[in-house]
């Protein structure tokens, strides 16, 4: 396979031609924040947290294919400002109670907040006043909490890309948008793949007992 050389954060790297900048960074232990990307799924460019600067242009690294000789910056004042704005919007819509969340400690949103020095305490007064959406407990193996959901669509794409079915979809409008499950009449096989890939605590295994 053809190889190309590019520079990421002043580091010259050689990678396979045709992969994305995000993939190239991961292969070389360079961290780029992301919430909607998963290596086993097709990139979607939903969260926009993986923005990088490529020869002066700000682009989503999950959708941008590497090119010979390009210079990539994963951090800059402009990029960090954009990322913080995105994360703060997520938090404003996120009914988070991190201490009581099963994902606490391995939550990607927590990780990115720490990386960007975004404080939950500072953001708490800015959270939008909205009613909590009811949890979906219809599946016998896992529960879905739309109040913790960041709408990354990883669960939807897991069904489509890996299993070739559309057991999940987005429904609703505005702040009421959520992932819809179709209970016993759906195509869901309760395989748990979506739960394993959820980057936050929106999809969790059903509590025993």
Query: What confidence tens digit (pLDDT) does each residue in 94-110 have?
Result: 766 777 788 888 899 99
CA angle 123, 32, 27 (to 5 degrees): 155
Helix (H, G, I), strand (E, B), or coil: what is residue 28? Answer: coil
Distance between CA atoms of 17 and 86, rounded to whole angstroms? 30
The residue length of the chain stands at: 209
Q: What is the pLDDT of residues 35-82, one digit of tens each?
A: 999 999 999 999 999 999 999 899 999 999 999 999 999 999 999 999
The answer as to CATH 3.10.20.740 being correct for domain 3-74 is: yes
Alpha carbon 114 to its chain centroid, in Å, reads 15
Instruction: Establish whether domains 3-74 and 142-205 are of one fold.
Output: no
List the alpha helices (DSSP H) in 42-126. Answer: 77-92, 108-116, 120-123
Contact at 8 Å (CB) between 150 and 203?
A: no
Name the DSSP class of 128.
-
Q: Is residue 190 within 8 Å of residue 145, measured between CB atoms? A: no
Q: In terms of C-beta density within 10 A (0-12 exposed, 13-18 middle, 19 or more buried), how is residue 124 classed? A: exposed
Q: What's the pLDDT tens digit per position in 155-207?
A: 999 999 988 888 888 888 877 788 887 644 467 778 889 999 999 999 999 87
How far is it, in rounded angstroms, from Cα 49 to Cα 209? 38
User: In 3D, which of 141, 169, 138 has the Cα closest to residue 153?
Assistant: 169
Sketch the domain layout of the chain as residue ranges: 3-74, 79-126, 142-205
CATH topology of domain 142-205: Alpha-Beta Plaits (3.30.70)
Q: How far is CA 192 from CA 72, 96, 106, 187, in A?
A: 36, 23, 18, 13
| More confident site: 129 or 69 | 69
Angle CA 84–198–150, to nearest 5: 40
- Are 112 and 94 in contact, with CB atoms under 8 Å apart? no
pLDDT computed for residue 185 by the predictor: 47
Q: Is a pLDDT exceeding 80 seen at residue 28?
A: yes
Q: Residue 133 pLDDT > 70, yes or no?
A: yes
pTM over 0.85: yes
Q: What is the pLDDT of residue 96?
A: 63
* Structure-block tokens of residue 15: 């990678």
């Amino acid at each position: 396979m053809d190889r190309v050389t590019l520079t990421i954060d002043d580091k010259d790297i050689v990678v396979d031609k045709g992969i994305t900048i995000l993939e190239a960074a991961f292969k070389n232990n360079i961290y780029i924040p992301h919430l909607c990307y998963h290596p086993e799924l097709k990139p979607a460019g939903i969260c926009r947290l993986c923005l990088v600067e490529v020869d002066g242009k700000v682009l989503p690294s999950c959708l941008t294919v590497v090119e010979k000789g390009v210079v990539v910056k994963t951090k800059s004042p402009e990029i960090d400002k954009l990322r913080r704005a995105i994360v703060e919007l997520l938090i404003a819509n996120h009914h988070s109670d991190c201490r009581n969340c099963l994902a606490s400690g391995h939550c990607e949103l927590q990780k990115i907040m720490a990386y960007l020095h975004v404080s939950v305490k500072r953001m708490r007064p800015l959270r939008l006043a909205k009613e909590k959406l009811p949890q979906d407990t219809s599946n016998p193996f896992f529960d879905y909490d739309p109040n913790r959901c960041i709408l990354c669509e990883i669960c939807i794409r897991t069904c489509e890309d890996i299993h070739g079915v559309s057991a999940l979809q987005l429904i609703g409008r505005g702040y009421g948008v959520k992932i819809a499950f179709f209970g016993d009449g759906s195509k869901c096989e309760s395989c748990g793949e979506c739960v394993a890939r959820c980057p936050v605590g929106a999809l969790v295994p059903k509590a025993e007992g």
